[in-house]
Each structure stands twice: as structure tokens, then as C-alpha cells.
Structure 1
Amino acid sequence: MDDTKALKVGYLGPAGTFTESALLTQVDLAAAEHILFRSHSDVLHNTSSGLVDFGFCAIENAIEGTVNVVQDTLAFDSELMIQREVVIPITMNLLVQSGTVINEVEKVISYPHALAQVRAFLRNNLPDAELEAANSTAHAAQMLAESPSSKVAAVGTSLAADKYGLEIAAESIEDHPGNKTRFILIAKDGIPAPTGHDKTSVVVFQQSDKPGSLLAILQEFAARSINLTKLESRPTREALGNYCFFLDLEGHIADSVMADCLKTLQTKDVRVKFLGSYPAAGEQAEEVRKESNDALDKAQSWLDSIRSKLS
């Protein structure tokens, strides 16, 4: 991203969400103008319309799985392209107003995914508390800060506690300490240049349902040593029992082996929707991809040498 101060990035608000925490880990995104929206759907819609240059959304959590509204919008309702992924550890905290005693809390507010990730803590410490859904963990913190009752708590970030003048009554209350969430940066178009450590995301729609059709798709990746980091089925919205497949692949569309694989899939009885090739988060794992590219290039040279003898 160039000239970041002139760019607008939209994400889920209000201030203090995990999304904001993830965004602030990216120097260029932190320097851009920030536009906050009430829902993921609003972020995606306003990115598609051009109100913001980029959208930044959670798409997958290690415990609760996919954020379906984001994934489905990319597949069915937009032509947005993924530009980058960001992965951060998720630490949940119980937030309260000053003076609140935990065992007197009667209601806990948070985003449904967040409440689901602290079930054990709530069961053991606040078994009778009412659970109330909010649009985000930061929205829950905002609701708590505005509540006249001292018997309300929220599950949220330390960032939200700072922003809304709340206290952290209990830290790291998540059921699974290794929990992480994956976020994506999206734009109306554009494919970032390959970095050597990239992912490609696609949706594969079967044109007909027949035995072995999924196996035939997966064999194309296996034959080229392309690693799948995600495979998930979702209804196509066309008929009961009709499913498409979301795949995240190690590699970039600029890699000859990836390009050849997707080209071959297009010749089969499937439709491929390309969601983007982009820099991947985490440790680099490109050796197998490089070997596959080299092998494909050698095979192409071999074929070209034979074809050159055609009269």
C-alpha cells in the first residue's frame, strides 16, 4: 500500500475490537484513515461500493471456525479480492465497571463468538449470569460503560478496557489458550505480487454431483504437491444438498504450478471462483512449491523439445 494517509480502511467497530487490535499490528494499515462499521456486512458492502479503499475482517477462528457472513459474501455476493492475511492470538478478559464484584455479576455481554470461547469460565464462575449478544466485543464494552448497573460485565479486549475506562476483573479467561483468529484485508480488485510465502483462495462449484467428483478436484492439487491449508464445504444457496468448496492453497497464481492446476480445473466439470493470491501469515513453507515449479518447468521444456521436431 502506497500513500497510506490518503487511503481509507473500514473494519468492525466500535473502537477496541479484536479486529482493530489485528489491524494495528500492520504499520501501513495503522497509518491509514479508519472508518468503523456496525457489522461485517457493512464493511464488505462499503468496500464493494468504494466508500473505503480496503476492508479488514475476521474470517476464521481456531475454535469457533469460519465467520460465514464474510466467507459467503466473498463467494456469492461480491467480486472482492483478498490482499493479505493477518493472524493474532486471542486473549479474552472479563471487563467490569470500577467497584464491581465478580460474584455479583448478573449479566455478561459480548459478541456470540467471544461468549462461546469462554464457556468454561462462565460455567465455573458465573453459572447463573444472563448472556447478552452484542455486535462486537468492543460494542459490549461500550454497552457496559454506559450501563447504570454495577452487576453487568463484558468479555472483551484490554484495548477496549482502556478505551472505555473499564477494569479487567479476570484476564485470559478463554477456554483454549492457543486460540487465534485470522483476518483478511480485501479490496475491489488487484492481486499482490508474489512474495515466496503466499496463499491462494478459491471457491470450487461442481456443475454436477457424481461419485468421486471431489476426489477428482483434490487429485489435481495432490499431483502438483500443492498443500491445502483449508477445505470447507458450504451450501450453494441453489438447492438443498448442493455444496461448493472453499479452498486455501499454499502458493500464488503467478507460480506456474498453481496456474497450471487452476487452468486444468477450469477444463473439468467445475467452476472456479478466484478470491485472491496474497502474502500469507506465519512461517515460510515454500520449498515444496519451488520444487514443484521447477519440475513443471522441466517437464514443459521436455515437451517443447519434442514439439520442436514437428514438421
Structure 2
Amino acid sequence: MHVGYLGPKNSFTYQAASYCFDSAVLTPFTSIPNCLNALKKDHIDYAIVPIENSLEGSVHTSVDGLFNQKDIQVYQEIILPIEQQLLVKNVTVIPEKILSHPQAIAQSQTFLETYYPDCLIEQVASTTFAAQYVANHPTESIAAIASKEAAEEYGLHILSRNIQDNRFNQTRFWLLGKKPLKDSLPIEKLTLFITLPNNAPGILHKVLSAFAWRSIDLSKIESRPLKTELGEYYFILDVPVTNNKDLINYALEEISLLGATIQHLGYYPIVIKER
């Protein structure tokens, strides 16, 4: 089995992939679009990408990259605890510049504002790239925000531990593919992309009512621009699945009759990695 992930090695996405697969060939990609494109072209069997962080919200590159990808489905959700560390090559260094991925920087904003308010913050492609850069430039007064696994991989010291703004910081990752996995995990969630018909007054209310009057819970509702004209959106809905599959299907039939377009990303299980 060949699984692609947002790399490089020891990124949080790599950790999610390693947690799911102990015998697959794991291949890093430099960006989420590159990873999704490899899956679309069947260069890999599955892909794992970040989809949402509990502090910073949805990873829009992943969400928008999946929109209108008719053949790609979600087969599993992995929830990974995210603990950010401030890493240096030399413990005596006083950082003048801190490097990391934009999400990691945002997740550690309170720490940075409190302890390094005058430090230059530089965004890079990944937390692991930041750690690797610090390891390769030992004479510079720089630090990286990355994982403890990255510290171990590149021989860095942890200057400050668990600097994320919330100790319950978590990221959702999706295992994507075109064919189901052979597992027996219970189905827990459904994700939908819904595009509403134009010039239909009250249509969003009607769509949501199809779930509400059937007592179907929605754990997430989010809008994303269609990237056509200003003010045009599609909606992301997460639907918890218990014993209500038939009711959900009836709701989707009603929504289709209202003229909405539904992209069904699939029913899938949720796997939570403990801290």
C-alpha cells in the first residue's frame, strides 16, 4: 500500500500516517495540492491531509482541494493531539528569529506575544522544515516551533515545552482514497459539501430544516467561497452518525429536491490518538 502525506518526515501529518499504517510505504509531498493531485492521478493509493485544527479552524487548502473531486472519499478521520515545542540547536541561544508553519505560529500566539514580543517571526513551509533549518544553521540565533519528534530527528533541544495556546489543541486529519479500507471500525460521521441554488429565498433555512425536523444533529456548518462571484458559497456539513442513516438519506433526498447540489464525501470512522 502506498500512502502520501503532507511532509516532510516527522510532520504532524506524518505522525497521523504512521499511527494509521505500520507497514505502508509513506511518501511525503511538499504541499496539500501536490498530495491530492497524486491521489487523483492514482500515483498513490491513499492520502492523509490535515483538515481542521481546534484552535485555528479548517485547513482551507485541504477543503477547497476536495471540492468537486467526485472520485475521492473520506475513509477515516484521525484526531491527533498537537503539542508545539520551541526548539534550538544550542540551549544558550537567545532567539532573534523564530521559524514555523503559519498554523503552528497561530497556535502559539499567546506564548510568542508574552515571551518573544520583539522576535522576528518567519513563516515556512512546515514545522519540520523549520526544525531542519535550525539544525543546519547552528551559528544563527534562531529557533523553530515544531514537535518533540522533530527535535529528536534533528538533534535539537527543547527550549520551552508545550507552548500551544491550549493544552487540548488537536488536529483532524482525513484519510482519503478511491477505494474503501478493509477495516471493521464503526461509522461515526458523514461530511457533505452542499451548493445552494441561486435566487432561492430562504433556501439555507430549508436545507437545514431537512435535518432539524428529523432530529439529525449537525456538528459543523461552515461556508466557503465558490471562487466564482462575490457572495457565492458552498457549505461544509459534518453529520454525526448513530443509528440514523436512513433518516440522513431521507434528508439528503429532500435537499436534492430543493435544487441543492450535494457532494457526498462518505461515511467514515474516527480514530483518536491519546496523548
Report the TM-score range of the alignment, normalised by the length of the smaller protein: over 0.9
Aligned partner of 2:125 among 98, 120, 135: 135
Count of aligned pairs between the two proteins: 272
Q: How does 1:198-277 map to 2 (within 5 A)?
A: 198-251=188-241, 255-277=245-267
Instruction: Specify the alignment match of 1:15 in structure 2.
Output: 9
1:73 maps to 2:65: yes
> Are 2:64 and 1:43 equivalent residues in the alignment?
no
Report how far residue 254 of structure 1 moved.
9.2
Greater C-alpha Rg: 1
Q: Matches of 2:146 and 2:225 in 1, distance apart?
A: 32
Alpha-carbon deviations, 1:75-101, whole Å to 9, x = none?
135631111001111111001003443
Residue 24 of structure 1 pairs with residue 18 of structure 2: yes
Deviates most, 246-255 or 164-173: 246-255
Taking the aligned partners of 1:124 and 1:116, their CA distance within structure 2 comes to 14
- The Cα of 1:148 is off from its aligned counterpart by 4.2
- The aligned counterpart of 2:79 is 87
What TM-score do the two structures reach when normalised by structure 2? 0.92
| 1:197 CA displacement | 3.9
69-78 or 171-180, which moves further after superposition?
69-78
Picking from 43, 49, 56, the partner of 2:48 is 56
Tell me, what secondary structure is at the counterpart of 2:219?
A: strand
Counterpart amino acid of 1:93? Q
After superposition, the CA RMSD in angstroms is: 2.0
Asked if the contact 2:89–2:138 (Cα under 8 Å) also holds between the matched residues in 1, the reply is no
Find the aligned partners of 2:216 and 2:119 in 1 and give their Cα distance. 48
* CA pair 21-184 structure 1, distance change in 2 beyond 3 A: same
Structure 2 unaligned spans of 5+: none
| Aligned counterpart, 2:25 | 33
1:93–1:172 Cα contact (<8 Å) kept: yes
Partner Cα distance (1:194, 1:216) in 2: 35
Distance 1:170 1:243 in 2: 41
Aligned partners of 1:206 and 1:270 also within 8 Å: yes
**Contact kept? 1:95, 1:155, Cα under 8 Å:** yes
Residues 20 and 100 (structure 1), Cα distance of their counterparts in 2 relative to 1, 3 Å cut: farther
In structure 2, the residue matched to 1:116 is 106
Query: For 1:192 and 1:235, how far apart are their aligned partners in 2?
Result: 35
Tell which has more relative contact order, 1 or 2 (C-alpha 8 A, sep 6+).
Answer: 2
Flag the 1:10–1:196 CA change in 2: closer, same or farther, 3 A. closer
Deviates more, 1:246-255 or 1:53-62: 246-255
Q: CA 1:224–1:191 in structure 2 vs 1: closer, same or farther (change >3 Å)? A: farther
Distance in 2 (CA, whole Å) between partners of 1:150 and 1:197 is 50
Q: Matches of 1:146 and 1:76 in 2, distance apart?
A: 41
1:280 to 253, 270, 274: 270
Deviations 1:169-192 (A, max 9, x none): 110111111111100000034488
Q: 1:213 Cα shift?
A: 0.9
> For 1:161-212, what per-residue CA distance to the aligned partner results, in whole angstroms no more than 9, with x for missing partners?
1111111111011111111110000003448888544211111111123332
- Structure with the bigger percentage of helix: 1
CA contact (8 A) 1:194 1:279 kept: no
Percent identical = 34
Query: Normalization by structure 1: what TM-score?
Result: 0.82
In structure 2, what is the equivalent of residue 300 of structure 1?
A: none
Write the letter of the residue equivalent to 1:177. Answer: R
The answer to whether the 8 A contact 2:70-2:263 is kept is: no
Map 1:184-199; keep pairs closer than 5 Å. 184-190=174-180, 195-199=185-189
